Amino acid sequence: MTELTEAVHLSDPLGALEPVPNYACDVCASLGRQREEARARRDMTVVSDCNVEIRRHPHTGRGRSV
């Protein structure tokens, strides 16, 4: 007879699926707007692309990023 064991809980390797754009950063703010526009037209490929770009975008600690 097989015994049941407690469930294994794994962490999410991606963290938050929707990164939060830094709206003080012109690049992040633009990507955030593009993402919302794409979501409104149900273009999930662009939504995903914007998520990747927001997640990878470096910040300098100032209001604008270069």
**Is 5 within a domain?**
no
Q: How many domains in the chain?
A: 1
DSSP letters, the chain, are -PPP-PPP----TT--SSPPP-TTSHHHHHHHHHHHHHHHTT-HHHHHHHHHHHHH----SSSS--
Please tell me the predicted confidence (pLDDT) of residue 64.
Answer: 43
| Entry pTM | 0.66
CA–CA distance, 42 with 31 (Å, rounded to integer): 16
How would you write the pLDDT of the chain (66 residues) with one tens digit per residue? Answer: 678 889 888 777 666 678 999 999 999 999 999 999 999 999 999 999 999 999 999 875 544 433
Q: What is the pLDDT of residue 16?
A: 62
- Rounded to a whole number of angstroms, the distance between the first and last alpha carbons of the chain is 63
pLDDT of residue 15: 63
The answer to whether residue 59 sits within a structural domain is yes
The parent domain of residue 40 ranges over 19-66
